[in-house]
């Protein structure tokens, strides 16, 4: 007798058992695009992917081969949750050289990409109903990561000098007046994603004054500061922090390769220990192989040699995109000139719904971008779009902007 | 004027901003041990680490070198959240060969180690106060992962035939009577961690009957089924499931290398899509490099060639440990003969507190194990300990058991 007959054959009703958190999960517009882009034959201004030509595959192949051959039996075991000491020591030196001093490798935890850093922030700090302050616009995957923990957002607009700290202070006062628990201020001060601006030194100082006055934590997300294309004076917030209230986070995704999934969080030891405790139950540890590839890329100087080359290529690509936008975009479109990073944020005329337009762009024009609304916690940005200029070739940039301009023109005319 | 003077120099008060979840985070006893073990000169029966000699470092070095050299610019970019199609197709074949059939690669999501699979289960299913059913004893990192989501546990004891499904049914009835929301039954049916037993076919059938009757989800965690040392008949729960109510999870950590951090979850597509949505905000995607190393290790037959060799070595090591226990352990100690897996679970006499004894074992006897209580959701197991026999050499097993026996003898005599 076939024992399978015992069962009624009723499918499990999953709806009954999903957690409430699943209601707060949003598919990232970037992730959704990836499916399209992987089909090929699409010019992608979508994700923040490095130029494939900038990935030093030969050097990495050799580094990895030697690591595995010489130390494979150790490297391929579990590592400590906080990360391999070798890498944390290299990071201490690397950050130090760029102006961020920490006492010891114990101030650093390695994360599985900086996305895990964002998830860790949510887990460690956010209870349902807590408030998180972000920039308008800000990185959409940060919004998604925090949102899962059921926070409320306060958005502070960004202008050419970065976050409007005057507005920040007003909003903090109002929120405290309402009895809200503000858990942290999340900022990308340098080469902001998606706006491309950099916070002025005065604003940085003001931000830290406000944080000190209201006893707030500041998270400085810094994936892009190595890609500044203009001689802008800047200091890391973390380097100006004397009260241990800035957590610094960064990643190897842009300076080496996203496929390694290695990022880091650095700050006050008390916080790092808590992150470490939380990370244990999330993935035990980040791949030790990948950590050591990153470590070797720092130790051998590969990354420092790469940075100026990458910067130059990206600067040229940015210029190509700016010029294409000027040449092809219909009247009524505007954009900020990014001083660094990987993106140009473009506003179409107000009647253009970039989310609606995306479908046509993908199917008819074979060009991808990320609609602007996902970057705005206040629901604005419906006529904006984020264009990445680091992944496509220069030829693709020109052609893609041409196609995009046509789509926008059609949109304007049809409405 | 130095702008740092603007700030009062007050350290941030983190206590004020930790989330409530942080109270439910426990440091894994295994992770804590790792710090000791990394100091060297300790015989470790602690973590579930593979024999370093079993890690095919030369083959992996070559696979990785070729991957990076030939396809580095693509491999080192982000992958889709669900995982690289290549790997999911290989897994479909691999599971199929071992009796678990799925329709398509869309039934599989790649996770960053199976620990992330556990975290995903918590995130997708558990609201505070929900009930999760586990075995007594069970894998401690699963307890820790679910606990963060503030669940209640119901424990069902294990005997020589695995989970006592008669008791399971009673407990399910009682819980439903109390109006509890049971989210899933978590089981390691084959070569259970830490008890080393395997669930009989009858019990498996009964478990699925109960799941069907009460409309429950079953999670089958399977890291060890490839390491069966005796001719035990078994069928995967998933292979007996006709109602889509079994989620199957596994990992490359034991069959290839833990340092890759590649695991997988397979099951009903509805659940897999939800896992995928949740994983986006956790780490975007698992390292594509590591996914492809795993995929190549399957495609080239490396893993299938390795499995019988590893099994033979582990069988011998198990036998060595069993023999050493028989030879050296003082009266009043008992242990189950594991039919597979990586561990022997040992009970000392009741007055021995294995958690207290651990400190002395590490400092004086230089031998590590995991105290038993961490594996028990009912607070029992205080006199038990889990001993791993796959990582230490045979000589270390003999010597380590000798030392452990001395420590236990001392403990018995002093109490």
Give the pLDDT score at A6: 39
How many residues would you count in chain A? 415
Whether residues B361 and B339 share a domain: the answer is yes
Whether residues A229 and A338 share a domain: the answer is no
Angle made by CA atoms B138, B144, B147, in degrees to the nearest 5: 105
More confident call, A234 vs A64: A64
pLDDT tens track for A314-353: 999 999 999 999 999 999 999 989 999 999 999 999 999 9
- Which of 201-230 (B) contact A at CB < 8 A? 205, 208-209, 212, 215-217
Token digits of residue A33: 């695009």
Q: What is the mean pLDDT of residues A383-390?
A: 97
Other C-beta atoms closer than 10 Å to the C-beta of A52 total 15
A263-266, strands of its sheet edge to edge: A108-111, A263-266, A246-251, A218-221, A182-187, A131-136, A152-159, A162-163
* pLDDT band at residue B216 under the 50/70/90 scheme: very high
Whether residues B203 and B288 share a domain: the answer is yes
Whether residues B395 and B297 share a domain: the answer is no
- Between CA A366 and CA B74 the distance in angstroms is 20
Tell me which of B74, B78, B181, B393 to substitute to probe the interface with A (most A C-beta atoms closer than 10 Å): B78
Q: Examine the pLDDT at B29 and tell me if it is beyond 90.
A: no
Q: Do A287 and B9 touch (CB under 8 A)?
A: no
Tell me whether residue B12 is in a domain.
no
Number of folded domains that form chain A: 2
Residue span of the structural domain in which B396 resides:
24-55+304-414
- Between CA A216 and CA A212 the distance in angstroms is 6
Tell me whether residue A1 is in a domain.
no
* pLDDT band at residue A47 under the 50/70/90 scheme: confident
The pTM score is 0.95
Q: Examine the pLDDT at A88 and tell me if it is beyond 60.
A: yes
Check CB contact of A238 with chain B, cutoff 8 Å.
Answer: no
- Between CA A230 and CA A318 the distance in angstroms is 12
Other C-beta atoms closer than 10 Å to the C-beta of B406 total 16
Tell me whether residue B257 is in a domain.
yes
Whether residues B93 and B182 share a domain: the answer is yes
Give the pLDDT score at B39: 73
Give the pLDDT score at A10: 67
Whether residues B87 and B65 share a domain: the answer is yes
* pLDDT band at residue A34 under the 50/70/90 scheme: confident
Buried b (16+ CB within 10 A) or exposed e, A24-44: bbbebbbbebbebbeeeebbb
Other C-beta atoms closer than 10 Å to the C-beta of A377 total 23
Tell me whether residue A341 is in a domain.
yes
CATH number at residue B163: 3.40.640.10
Token digits of residue B9: 């120099």
User: What's the gap in Å between the CA of A232 and the closest CA on chain B?
Assistant: 19
Whether residues B251 and B310 share a domain: the answer is no
Q: Which of B55, B216, B243 has its CB closest to that of A11?
A: B243
pLDDT tens track for B236-288: 999 999 899 999 999 999 999 999 999 999 999 999 999 999 999 999 999 99
Give the pLDDT score at B4: 40
Q: Which of B80, B76, B78 is nearest to B68 (CA)?
A: B76
**Within 13 A of A272's CA, how many CA atoms are on the CB side?**
25
Cβ neighbours of B258 in A, within 8 Å:
76-78
Domain end call among B303, B337, B371: B303
B336 CB contacts (<8 Å, ≥6 apart)? B160, B195, B196, B197, B344, B345
Give the pLDDT score at A310: 95
Check CB contact of B37 with chain A, cutoff 8 Å.
Answer: no
Give the pLDDT score at B220: 98
Give the pLDDT score at A38: 72
- Which of 68-97 (A) contact B at CB < 8 A? 68-69, 72-81
Tell me whether residue A108 is in a domain.
yes
Whether residues B273 and B323 share a domain: the answer is no
Token digits of residue A280: 């244990």
Cβ neighbours of A113 in B, within 8 Å:
283-284
Given a contact cutoff of 8 angstroms between Cβ atoms, the answer to whether B361 and B407 are in contact is yes
Q: What is the mean pLDDT of residues B67-89?
A: 95
For residue B400, give Cα distances in angstroms to A102, A313, B412.
Answer: 40, 58, 18
- Between CA A184 and CA A122 the distance in angstroms is 10
CATH number at residue A398: 3.90.1150.10
Check CB contact of B283 with chain A, cutoff 8 Å.
Answer: yes
pLDDT tens track for B97-147: 999 999 999 999 999 999 999 999 999 999 999 999 999 999 999 999 999
Whether omega before A137 lies within 30 degrees of 0, making that bond cis, reads yes
Given a contact cutoff of 8 angstroms between Cβ atoms, the answer to whether A168 and A160 are in contact is no
Could you identify the residue written with the tokens 């069962």? A7
Domain end call among A278, A303, A328: A303
- CA B398 vs. chain centroid, Å, equals 25
Whether residues A108 and A206 share a domain: the answer is yes
Q: By percentage, how much of chain A surpasses pLDDT 70?
A: 97
Q: Do B259 and A38 touch (CB under 8 A)?
A: no
- Between CA A346 and CA A333 the distance in angstroms is 7
Question: A69 burial class (0-12, 13-18, 19+ CB within 10 angstroms)?
Answer: middle
Q: What is the mean pLDDT of residues A226-231?
A: 92
Tell me whether residue A348 is in a domain.
yes
Q: What is the mean pLDDT of residues A163-172?
A: 98
B212 CB contacts (<8 Å, ≥6 apart)? A6, A7, A8, A10, B243, B245
For residue A319, give Cα distances in angstroms to A21, A322, B76, B118.
Answer: 43, 5, 26, 46
Tell me which of B69, B176, B282, B296 to substitute to probe the interface with A (most A C-beta atoms closer than 10 Å): B282
Cβ neighbours of B269 in A, within 8 Å:
none
Q: Examine the pLDDT at B5 and tell me if it is beyond 70.
A: no
Tell me whether residue A151 is in a domain.
yes
Whether residues A286 and A325 share a domain: the answer is no
Give the pLDDT score at B287: 98
- Which of 112-151 (A) contact B at CB < 8 A? 112-113, 115-116, 118-119, 123-127, 130, 141, 144-145, 147-149
Other C-beta atoms closer than 10 Å to the C-beta of B350 total 10
Q: Could you tell me which chain B residue has the CA closest to the CA of A215?
A: B12
What would you report as the CA-atom Rg of chain A, rounded to the nearest whole angstrom?
A: 22
Whether residues B49 and B154 share a domain: the answer is no
Could you identify the residue written with the tokens 């610094």? A248
Given a contact cutoff of 8 angstroms between Cβ atoms, the answer to whether B307 and B226 are in contact is yes
Give the pLDDT score at A289: 97
- Between CA B328 and CA B402 the distance in angstroms is 6
pLDDT tens track for A248-264: 999 999 999 999 999 99
Phi/psi for B219 (5° steps) reads: -105, 120
* pLDDT band at residue A9 under the 50/70/90 scheme: low
Tell me whether residue A394 is in a domain.
yes
Domain end call among B256, B274, B303: B303
Phi/psi for B347 (5° steps) reads: -105, 125
Q: Examine the pLDDT at B9 and tell me if it is beyond 90.
A: no
User: Which of A34-48, A379-393, B307-321 is the least confident region?
Assistant: A34-48
Q: Do A9 and B243 touch (CB under 8 A)?
A: yes
- Between CA B236 and CA B255 the distance in angstroms is 17
What is the longest distance spanned by two Cα atoms in chain B?
79
pLDDT tens track for A181-223: 999 999 999 999 999 999 999 999 999 999 999 999 999 999 9
Give the pLDDT score at B1: 33
Whether residues A171 and A312 share a domain: the answer is no
Given a contact cutoff of 8 angstroms between Cβ atoms, the answer to whether A249 and A266 are in contact is yes
- Between CA B171 and CA B163 the distance in angstroms is 12
Assign 3-class secondary structure to A149-189: CCCEEEEEEEECCEECHHHHHHHHHHHHHCCCCEEEEEECC
Tell me which of B5, B269, B281, B285 to substitute to probe the interface with A (most A C-beta atoms closer than 10 Å): B281
Give the pLDDT score at A128: 95
pLDDT tens track for B323-340: 999 999 999 999 989 999
- Between CA B317 and CA B51 the distance in angstroms is 10
Give the pLDDT score at B3: 39
Cβ neighbours of A280 in B, within 8 Å:
25, 27-28, 31, 141, 144
Q: Could you tell me which chain A residue has the CA closest to the CA of B115?
A: A283
DSSP E strands: which ranges in B137-245?
Answer: 152-159, 162-163, 182-187, 218-221
The 8-class DSSP code of residue B258 comes to: G
ipTM of the complex: 0.94
Question: A295 burial class (0-12, 13-18, 19+ CB within 10 angstroms)?
Answer: buried
Given a contact cutoff of 8 angstroms between Cβ atoms, the answer to whether B172 and B216 are in contact is yes
Assign 3-class secondary structure to A34-75: HHHHCCCCCEECCCCCCCHHHCCHHHHHHHHHHHHHHHHHHH
Given a contact cutoff of 8 angstroms between Cβ atoms, the answer to whether B389 and B314 are in contact is yes
């Amino acid at each position: 007798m076939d024992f399978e007959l015992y069962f009624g054959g009723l499918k499990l009703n999953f709806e009954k058992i999903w957690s409430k958190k699943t209601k707060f999960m949003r598919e990232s517009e970037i992730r959704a695009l990836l499916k399209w882009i992987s089909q090929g034959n699409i010019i992608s201004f979508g994700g923040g992917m490095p130029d494939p030509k900038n990935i030093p595959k030969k050097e990495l192949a050799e580094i990895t081969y030697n690591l595995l051959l010489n130390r494979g039996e150790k490297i391929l075991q579990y590592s400590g949750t906080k990360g391999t000491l070798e890498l944390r020591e290299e990071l201490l030196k690397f950050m130090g050289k760029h102006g961020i001093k920490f006492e010891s490798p114990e101030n650093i935890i390695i994360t599985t990409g900086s996305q895990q850093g964002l998830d860790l922030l949510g887990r460690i700090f956010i209870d349902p109903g807590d408030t998180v302050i972000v920039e308008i616009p800000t990185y959409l995957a940060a919004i998604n990561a925090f949102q899962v923990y059921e926070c409320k957002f306060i958005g502070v607009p960004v202008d050419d000098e970065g976050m409007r700290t005057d507005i920040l202070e007003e909003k903090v006062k109002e929120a405290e007046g309402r009895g809200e628990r503000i858990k942290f201020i999340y900022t990308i001060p340098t080469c902001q994603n998606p706006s491309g601006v950099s916070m002025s030194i005065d604003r940085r100082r003001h931000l830290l004054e406000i944080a000190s006055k209201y006893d707030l934590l500041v998270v400085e997300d810094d994936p892009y500061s190595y890609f500044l294309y203009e001689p802008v004076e800047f200091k890391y917030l973390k380097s100006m922090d004397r009260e241990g209230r800035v957590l610094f986070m960064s990643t190897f995704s842009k300076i080496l390769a996203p496929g390694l999934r290695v990022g880091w969080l650095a700050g006050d030891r008390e916080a790092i220990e808590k992150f470490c405790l939380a990370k244990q139950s999330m993935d035990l540890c980040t791949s030790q192989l990948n950590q050591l590839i990153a470590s070797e890329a720092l130790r051998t100087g590969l990354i420092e040699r790469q940075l100026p080359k990458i910067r130059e290529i990206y600067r040229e690509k940015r210029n190509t995109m700016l010029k294409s936008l000027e040449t092809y975009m219909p009247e009524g479109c505007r954009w900020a000139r990014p001083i660094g990073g990987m993106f140009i944020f473009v506003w179409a005329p107000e009647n253009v719904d970039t989310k609606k337009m995306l479908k046509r762009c993908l199917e008819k024009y074979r060009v991808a971008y990320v609609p602007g609304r996902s970057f705005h916690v206040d629901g604005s940005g419906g006529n904006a779009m984020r264009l990445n200029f680091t992944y496509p070739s220069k030829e693709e940039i020109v052609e893609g902007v041409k196609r995009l301009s046509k789509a926008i023109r059609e949109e304007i005319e049809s409405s």
